[in-house]
Amino acid sequence: MKIVTIIGARPQFIKAAALSRAIKDRFAGRVEEILIHTGQHHDDNMSKVFFDELDIPDPRHHLGISGGRHGEMTGRMLGAIEAKLIEEKPDWVLIYGDTNSTLAGALAAVKLHIPLAHVEAGLRSFNMRMPEEVNRIVSDRFSTLLFCPTATAVVNLAAEGITKGVHNVGDVMYDVALFYKTLARQQTNILARLGLEEGRYLLATCHRAENTDDPQRLSQIMQVMVELARDFPVVFPLHPRTRDLLVTHGLSDKLASLKVTLPLPFLDMVALEQSAHLILTDSGGVQKEAYFFGVPCVTMRDETEWIETVSLGWNKIAGADKNKILAAVRNFVRPAVAQETLYGTGDASGAIIQAML
């Protein structure tokens, strides 16, 4: 079986690492995987470091496509991916998540009548203003196999009339978290490098367009960071796009009181997540990782796809309102009950490959 995997953004590299490892360790000789890297995330700190650190096979095709408006970027990717699929003639196209790379891969596969497998299918924020929501809905509609991370995702698909080819396999990110949890503590000294004490700092990330493109929302979020930095060190790995928009919106001065870093390698990020007092984020992946590691999370969005983490009390939705975020952080009560196993048993990757076979 020949699989072409389409990846292009940081979260996809991490997820792809789990499946690539499963193919190498358990399906060698039965499955050939070819990676196409669209180039959506091209900065070394957002791309190359993950291939090196997570032992992901080098992409056979690197398309070098990044920047531009959503439609422009997706269109360029679509044409380039289509040409590579014609060349490679795979049995399956495999896509992850909800980025422009995901959508372009889905469109290219369906137009060439190649079976499509979507990892992380069925997630819904029910906010059609989010580009990610559009990407995931369209990708799900075209997919032959839909690999859901939770029972909620299965229900979401059924509500849209999609029941064929749907599998609740668990979350590949849980596979990754289990594999790297201890390794991260052993192999990184990020806390010492940043002068941090375990449990005595906050970790914050902000990159989604709904926050960074809106000067008012971004201003509220940055004011929160400055306020919280009076009580705790706030570690802020800075996405290149966020950095540029802070300058554009005249907010870059707010960074002075924070522990700002470049985008971090995965093991550094996992180590920081595990040891944080609390995490603030607008990232779907970081919300889940906080839950996996038993760390309270405040989500700076108006909704989340990962509603299970909210219903169990490990995640609070606070939007981009300064007062709501501060109240959520300062009044957060850790749930008395430990995290439930919501995201599978840690072998989503094997289940995905087996279903494709």
**pLDDT reported for residue 275:** 97
pLDDT reported for residue 317: 98
Residues in the chain: 357
Residues 6+ apart with CB under 8 A from 349: 18, 19, 21, 22, 172, 175
Which H or E run contains 241?
helix 240-248
| Angle, CA 274 vertex, CA 236 and CA 188 arms, to 5° | 80
Cα angle for residues 102, 316, 199 (degrees, 5° grid): 100
Beta strands in 92-231 (DSSP E): 92-96, 116-119, 145-148, 166-168, 202-204
Domains of the chain: 2-168 (3.40.50.2000), 179-330 (3.40.50.2000)
Active site residue ranges: 207
pTM: 0.85
What pLDDT tens digit does each residue of the chain (357 aa) get? 999 999 998 889 889 999 999 999 999 999 999 999 999 876 655 567 767 777 788 899 999 998 888 899 999 999 999 999 999 999 999 999 999 999 999 999 999 999 999 999 999 999 998 899 999 999 999 999 999 999 999 999 999 999 999 999 999 999 999 988 888 888 899 999 999 999 999 999 999 999 999 999 999 999 999 999 999 999 999 998 899 999 999 999 999 999 999 999 889 999 999 999 999 999 988 999 999 999 999 999 999 989 999 999 999 999 999 999 999 999 999 997 766 778 999 999 999 999 999
Output the pLDDT for position 338: 66
CB 59 within 8 A of CB 13: no
Please report, for residues 51, 188, 225, 290, 316, the alpha-carbon distance to residue 201 in angstroms, rounded to integers and kept in the order given.
29, 17, 12, 14, 18
CA 298 – CA 222 distance, rounded (Å): 15
pLDDT of residue 182: 87
Q: What is the largest CA-CA distance in the chain?
A: 57
Query: Strands, E, within 40-111: which ranges?
Result: 61-62, 92-96
Do 214 and 238 form a contact (C-beta atoms < 8 A)? no
